Structure 1
């Protein structure tokens, strides 16, 4: 198992290195250890995802160091609990950025935490890699400096929406078929706002029409009422035929329960990629639902026909063996750490600016799927990484 793990890590790092075009000089004969700090949601409303990220980082740290790919140099990960609190997370990002021994920072599932931390990262010129779902985390805006130190590994709402609309309105639909009536249920936070905006843009020429929308509190406290409002008072001809749900893993099950109580069956429910949590489903109401996500979530359904798939399958098995069950968000954290370790190995330096140079030229087949970043595109996961999965037999399965 140790040998397989070392081979998998070596394969990932070799693939990453193949896409790094920057030529960095070795500015030190004795390169110190690489310290990567992480602010994660280990307690609070996002603890399910935060603990999956922590487990992935610890396992990947161990495997990278055991593999010997960094020679005698060591990778050390420092993790703090931000308690799912954006203010605390930003304070931690500031502390990490002020510590010269920290070469890069990983921010967890909280979108507001990452968005608030971008100013700190850019002012202190420290790479900040976010695992949050909000599209705006790594997007360039009017106030984004020319040198942007913020990156993202994870699916974007725009890519998820396009993939979901392809499932909701299949190509096989008759040309003269009426538009499919689609409702959307989304949280009142940055992630939900971004997802809703992506949907309203993409739906225009999709063969679907918006038949209702409901915004629920991010803590899920009014999910049942908001789900019921999507169909309340509507005739059969106006009733939504499908519901697209934006939800983080803690709300995936409650959303399914609420929709079932409102009259929607599982096969009428479609989840954005951020909803992917554990491989096995604790809520029966999710049965039949569709999600778009990296195939890593259901890697035991995949044949290891390529080196990249073999690496993903080994990671899936290692994580499951260590922790008992797989969690969909784990590979994003592992890919973030691998990217920083590769940048460190490539430049043989812990210099933050030089690490950023390498990250901006990253192109590889990661554990989450194809990853690519450029100076103008800091969101790594490519649309091709998204696969269609269905909830079947109490777990997520690859469609077909």
Structure 2
């Protein structure tokens, strides 16, 4: 298990997550190796950037100015290791809160761990099952599966799309997406004509693409992160299925999707925050300005932008906003403040409550399209 402690120079080591130290220790349970490492790298970069910004002025807690100490651990993209990481952060590092895990499969088994320890966790996993039913100490930043489905359905209505095929990764994240489309099919809102699952380690999706295109769908929905989302784009294009009839969920929002898929990604659509097209955002509101500022800062610092980055940035900023709101870094006080928090973040707007620990609001998501090799705002948003 790889551990990276991102401290603040010579500041003393913190022994608890409480208010009696010079630092507030926040843990991060991230996928820095394994199949989901494309997410973890972006998360880690975003967290370091946000930590540095916060620590320029520090946080006023109990009359003292404190700084954030990040302890980042690699869960290797596996559920068992994610549980080990979470327990180490809680029992050994005595964190006040946890950012992560970064994916649905690595988040689900951690839920009972943080609930028992009463440590708030903000996940970057997308599955609605993370927060439904509501667990007291568990929150998330991505939009819930049904919200992504709603946004995509509005796009389908504009293009008069009815017959759908689904390609989904065979894990809890992909299963949540498939179940959403099966529910929409059962409700008569779409006609699910085919679906195929695949491993998160698959190297070729030609067989699955052949089977779904044989059903002659109006559109294919792909529920996967890179590199599999890019493999799907290539396989579908090889079957002569048009790119502008392929739709991706937020998980494809890495710069590696377009790079990996190349010309096969051209014309594809995805439901995501508008921050992914940060150069096109007109900052006419404080929320839009926040999104544009994050896009600009991250892109300048790292030489490109990842759609995963704002999810982690918001997770850390939400924890800090809760600390400021409650005037306390006690884990239970953070939980109480999170549950009554309204926040405009880089990924979108959050309105948490005792009955809603889910991610960004539906109004924060839009439909983007690959145009000339980059994600751009589309006319379907």
Query: Would the TM-score normalized by the shorter structure come out above 0.5?
Result: yes
Deviation at residue 65 of structure 1 after TM alignment? 0.9
CA distance in 2, matches of 1:358, 1:231: 48
Q: Can you list the C-alpha shifts for 1:8-28, whole angstroms capped at 9, x where unaligned?
A: xxxxxxxxxxxxxxxxxxx96
What is the aligned partner in structure 1 of residue 244 from structure 2? Answer: 267
1:103 alignment partner in structure 2:
96
Find the aligned partners of 2:376 and 2:181 in 1 and give their Cα distance: 25
Aligned partner of 2:118 in structure 1 is 125
1:105 is displaced (CA, Å) by 0.8
How far off its partner does 1:231 sit?
2.9
1:276 aligns with 2:264: no
Number of the residue aligned with 2:331: 352
Aligned: 1:324 with 2:303 = yes
Question: Is 1:72 aligned with 2:65?
Answer: yes
1:165 is aligned to 153
- Paired residues of 2:369 and 2:376 also in contact (CA < 8 A): yes
The list of structure 1 runs, each at least 4 consecutive aligned residues, that deviate by more than 6 angstroms after superposition, is none
- Residue 31 of structure 1, CA deviation: 5.3
Assess if the C-alpha contact under 8 Å between 1:266 and 1:288 holds in 2.
yes
Instruction: Decide which of 224, 227, 240 is 1:247's aligned counterpart.
Output: 224
2:233 to 245, 253, 256: 256
Provide Cα deviations, 1:175-207, integer angstroms capped at 9, x if missing partner.
Answer: xxxx72211111111011111111122345675
- How far the C-alpha of 1:256 sits from its partner, in A, is 0.1
Superposed displacement of residue 348, structure 1: 3.1
Q: Structure 1 residues 373-382 or 390-399, which shifts more?
A: 373-382
> Which residue is 1:60 aligned to?
50
Asked if 2 retains the 8 angstrom alpha-carbon contact of 1:279 and 1:298, the reply is: no
Aligned length: 357
CA distance in 2, matches of 1:384, 1:196: 23
1:339 corresponds to which residue? 318
Distance 2:103 2:289 in 1: 31
Q: Which runs of 5+ in 1 are unaligned?
A: 1-26, 174-178
8 Å Cα contact 2:273/2:364 also seen in 1? yes
**TM-score of the superposed pair, with normalisation by structure 1:** 0.85
* RMSD of equivalent CA atoms: 2.0
- Does the CA contact (< 8 Å) of 2:203 and 2:228 recur in 1? no
Which residue is 1:4 aligned to? none
2:109 is aligned to: 116
CA distance in 2, matches of 1:68, 1:222: 48
Task: State the TM-score, normalized to the length of structure 2.
Answer: 0.89
Secondary structure of 2:65's match?
coil
- Give 2:347's aligned residue: 368
In structure 2, stretches of 5+ residues that fail to align are 1-17
SS in 2 for 1:44: coil
Q: What's the counterpart of residue 288 of structure 2?
A: 309
The answer on 1:88 being equivalent to 2:81 is yes
User: CA 1:180/1:320 → structure 2, altered by over 3 Å: closer, same or farther?
Assistant: same
- Aligned partner of 2:180 in structure 1 is 198
Q: Structure 1 residue 221: deviation in Å? A: 3.6
In structure 2, the CA distance between the partners of 1:100 and 1:349, relative to structure 1 (3 Å rule), is: farther
Q: 1 CA distance for matches of 2:186 and 2:377?
A: 28
Q: Deviations over 1:282-306 (max 9, x none)?
A: 1220100111110111111011111
What's the secondary structure of 1:212's corresponding residue? strand
Question: SS of 1:387's equivalent?
Answer: strand
C-alpha contact 2:82 2:101 (8 A) present in aligned 1: no
